[in-house]
């Protein structure tokens, strides 16, 4: 009975993972997590930038609509403090309103050039929204 098929004893287990398998899996997971983290960070940064820009635009629209309602003679330089309190402009926004007499006329009526600048800071960069309008003396 020497010809009995003896199975070879395998000391290496076929179950489980090797260290190389584990290292590759960890690397792939970290690569995936790093990519997702970077994408989420960029999305958040764009969202915050857009929110600040939208808030500045809303403030500018409110101010310019109010200037349109004002009497021609009341539109002048130095209205920034009035609008900061009237529309509760946040502290991070700096207003500058420059009013100059324009040489243009509309329907024979004189005009004033109103330039509104709203400045704010985002991520260490200075951002600025500039809108120019004409204020026409109404007859």
pLDDT at 116: 96
Please state, in angstroms and as integers, the Cα–Cα distance from residue 37 to each residue in 30, 41, 84, following that order. Answer: 10, 6, 38
Neighbours of 102 (CB within 10 A): 15
Residue closest to 79 by CA, chosen among 111, 120, 126, 117: 117
- Count how many domains the chain has: 1
pTM: 0.73
Residue 5 domain flag: no
Which burial class, exposed, middle or buried, applies to 6 when counting CB atoms under 10 A from its CB (0-12, 13-18, 19+)?
exposed
Digit-by-digit pLDDT tens for the chain (139 residues) are 555 565 666 556 667 778 898 999 999 999 999 999 999 999 999 999 999 999 999 999 999 999 999 999 999 999 999 999 999 998 899 999 999 998 888 888 899 999 999 999 999 999 999 999 999 988 7
Residue 114 domain flag: yes
Residue 12 domain flag: no
């Amino acid at each position: 009975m020497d010809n009995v098929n003896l199975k070879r004893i395998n000391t290496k287990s076929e179950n489980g993972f090797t260290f190389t398998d584990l290292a590759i899996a960890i690397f792939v997971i970290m690569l995936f997590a790093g990519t997702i983290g970077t994408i989420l960070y960029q999305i958040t940064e764009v969202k915050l930038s857009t929110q600040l820009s939208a808030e500045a635009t809303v403030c500018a629209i409110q101010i310019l609509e109010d200037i349109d309602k004002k009497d021609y003679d009341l539109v002048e330089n130095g209205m920034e403090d009035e609008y900061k309190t009237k529309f509760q402009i946040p502290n991070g926004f700096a207003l500058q309103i420059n009013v100059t007499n324009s040489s243009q006329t509309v329907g024979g009526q004189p005009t004033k050039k109103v330039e509104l600048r709203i400045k704010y800071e985002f991520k260490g960069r200075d951002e600025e929204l500039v809108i120019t309008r004409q204020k026409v003396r109404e007859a």
